[in-house]
Amino acid sequence: MEGVVQNLVAEACAKHGNDSSALLPVLLELQERSGKHYVSREIAEEVARALEVTPGQVFEVVTYFAALSDKPRGKYLIQICESTACSVVGYNALLDWFKEELGLEVGQTDADGLFTLATTHCIGACDVAPAVRINNEVFGNLTREKVRELISERRAG
């Protein structure tokens, strides 16, 4: 098991440069590969060792950026953009629709580990505000109907 973690981290570090300045891309990559959108404690420990930074420094980065998480998240990470552009054209309503459809509050993950509801800083989709990012895909000009679709498509797998 330990060997698996070591290899995974070594690979990510080799790809992004074995240097403390590569901390962020390395963590993003490892989170992506976790399948649960998070950086586990074991991974973080190994990253600290590999990039010669302290464990605390890794943890600060993981908890600082909304894109990273220290706790497991759902298969689909729903991040609603709370930037100025989105908030003036219906961010609040959008957030409520997702909350109601999913039965989740911000920061929560459903029991099946399928969806996590989160907010995010600007994702650069102001032209199609209000926008949401689900994993790596951005969806804009949303209506309640579209929100339902986005969710049911993913429920169906």
**Which chain residues interact with another protein by CB under 8 A?**
41, 44, 48, 53-60, 63-64, 70
With respect to another protein, which residue has the nearer C-beta, 59 or 139?
59
Could you write out the DSSP letters of every residue in 53-112?
--HHHHHHHHHHSTT--SS---SEEEEEE-SHHHHHTTHHHHHHHHHHHHT--TT-B-TT
Minimal distance in Å, beta carbon 142 to another protein? 27
Question: Shortest approach of another protein to residue 59 CB, angstroms?
Answer: 4
- Beta partners for 119? 80
Residue 69 or 76: the one with the smaller Cβ distance to another protein is: 69
Q: To the nearest whole angstrom, how small is the minimum distance from the Cβ of residue 135 to another protein?
A: 23
Which residues are bridge partners to 76 per DSSP? 115
> Nearer to another protein by C-beta: 70 or 149?
70
Which residue is associated with the tokens 């926008």?
131
